[in-house]
Chains A and B, each alone.
Chain A
Amino acid sequence: MVLQADFVGTRPLISFQHVWKKYPNGTEALRDITLTVPEGDFLFLVGPSGAGKSSLIRLLIREEKPTKGKIFVDGQELGRMKRRHLPYYRRKVGLVFQDFKLLPKLTVYENVAFALRVLGEAGSVIKARSTEALQTVGLADKLDKYPRELSGGEQQRVAIARALVHKPKLIVADEPTGNLDPATGWEIMQLFLQINHKAKATVLMATHNRDIVDLLRRRVIAIDGGQVVRDDRASGYHEALAASGLRA
């Protein structure tokens, strides 16, 4: 595997090797994607709707398999992973979505604890880890609230706490600020940066939020027509897309 010069010495956490995804209806969602993400990286995935961002994420969390090519995450090839090993892989990945996906009938604490309960963890472990995760996202005082009693930003924090509770190596966020106002979106972004920095979790985020991308100057991968059109170590949203002749 050829690594870019600045990645040498860092183990790649994610590696896409000539990945193609073609759906049964004939749509080619991804065409020959090759990219490497070193451990501890923070990167944005940008591109117009229908560019293939969601497909890439679905492949990354192994909701789907690539039609061609190989995807390695933490040394495991996803395409060859057996279905019964999949749950254990998912525990290494924290997922955050635009629509939060919280359970409305559970409290803030229960929503986070649920992620550990389904793994059969002991009560004491569940309590310690859930409380810790909720402290990290700054919701230690809202444990008994229900999602409907929280603002959008707070709900997304609960979802992030739930993603953190497994202590994942990788956090995949699909438009996490898509439903939030700019100020709240910015707070959530700070939280992701903090998690990347303190918890040493690799963060991959698909987003349309150009202000955030412009301000943070992190690695940006621009996708269009199912292909990587630009991969900049520290770039802005406009630059990444403009350089490849695309409209943002």
Chain B
Amino acid sequence: MKLWRHLVFALSSAWQSFWRNAAVSLAAVGTITLILGLAGVNLLVGHTLGGILDQYKSRVSVISISIADGTPMTTVFDFQDQLRADPRVTDIRLITKDEALARFGSDPQNADIARQIEGNPLAAKLEVHVAKLSDVAAIDAEARQWRGADRNDPTDYQGEFIGRMLRLSQWVNLAGAAILVILLVVSVFIVMNTIRTAVYHRRQEIEVMKLVGATEWFVRGPFVLEGILTGVLAAGLALGLLMLAYRPFVDRFHSDLFFIPLGYDPTFVTELARDVLVTGALLGALGSYIGVRRFVRI
């Protein structure tokens, strides 16, 4: 019962205080909305980039091993079994010379050349799907040692390219995280200062509360709630803006940026909504807690 009355008191005080300093409160909400909006854009861009990188990664995590002409099928099957038993390999497929030619010819760009080819110059291949991009190099090394591999062009492995992809994806993640941290720290500072203003406006009330024996948490509570209110309000607005902009943006640029697999991802949007709201509440709570801590010491 007592707890409930404390909660009611804190909520009504927070609400009053928020509107009593409406200008400051709303300025803070506006600024944090922009910041959380930026953070959201950052996450969306990161997510899209990550998606693109994943596509490339899944493409390069498949290496095909060319089989030298005249290799006995038993040798090929043995090697295929050996790779299949390897935990790093998720899938392996044999592509015969005929299949390879058919595939080559199925590309309209190659149709003319395919018609002029006599016989079948293409090698049979083993297509190996590797679970982790970082393991591709080891599988490649193993394949190059295999006696059935074509001497001139054993695999299509592009080590340098994969290394760059991995580094790029690390940098993208790191840069995204750094931007996020900066934005969040700035928001915490804004909430902190807003709450200090609120504390200043209510200094008499705080003084009396302390004199009559209110606990520190009782004095702090309304301010922390006000901070959370500020954060959640800003998060809600930022989300609204993101939702309004995301869909039209994807639709508008989808055709222009055809080389980028730009897509609207509803699952990610739900996660983003949850994350942004929780972040808003947390940074509001943290900022206000730091803001009042010194001033409500009994």
Give the interface of A toward B (CB within 8 A).
83-84, 86-91, 95, 101, 103-104, 114-115, 117-122, 162, 166
Contact = CB atoms under 8 A, between A and B. Distances in A.
Interface in B1-48: 1-3, 5-6, 9
Interface residues of B, number: 21
A20 B214 CA distance: 28
A119 B214 CA distance: 6
A29 B235 CA distance: 52
Given A117-B9, A120-B9, A91 B208 contact: no
Main secondary structure of the interface of B (DSSP, over half): helix
Contacts of A117: 9
B81 interface: no
Given A101-B207, A118-B218, A90 B5 contact: no
Nearest to B212: A115
B216 A84 contact: yes
Contacts of A89: 213
Contacts of A114: 208, 212
Interface string B199-212: 00000110111111
Contacts of B218: 87, 118, 120
B10 to A, nearest CB: 10
Given A83-B298, A86-B298, A87-B298, A119 B208 contact: no
Interface of B: 1-3, 5-6, 9, 204-205, 207-216, 218, 297-298
A7 to B, nearest CB: 28
Contacts of A88: 213
Given A87-B298, A120-B6, A122-B1, A101 B213 contact: no
B294 to A, nearest CB: 14
B204 A90 contact: no
A97 B9 CA distance: 26
Given A87-B216, A101-B204, A120 B211 contact: no
A166 B1 contact: no
B204 A83 contact: no
A90 B1 CA distance: 23
Contacts of A104: 204
A120 B214 CA distance: 9
Given A89-B213, A90-B211, 18 more contacts: A86-B298, A87-B214, A87-B215, A87-B218, A88-B213, A90-B213, A101-B204, A101-B211, A103-B205, A103-B208, A115-B208, A118-B209, A118-B212, A119-B214, A120-B5, A120-B218, A162-B212, A166-B213
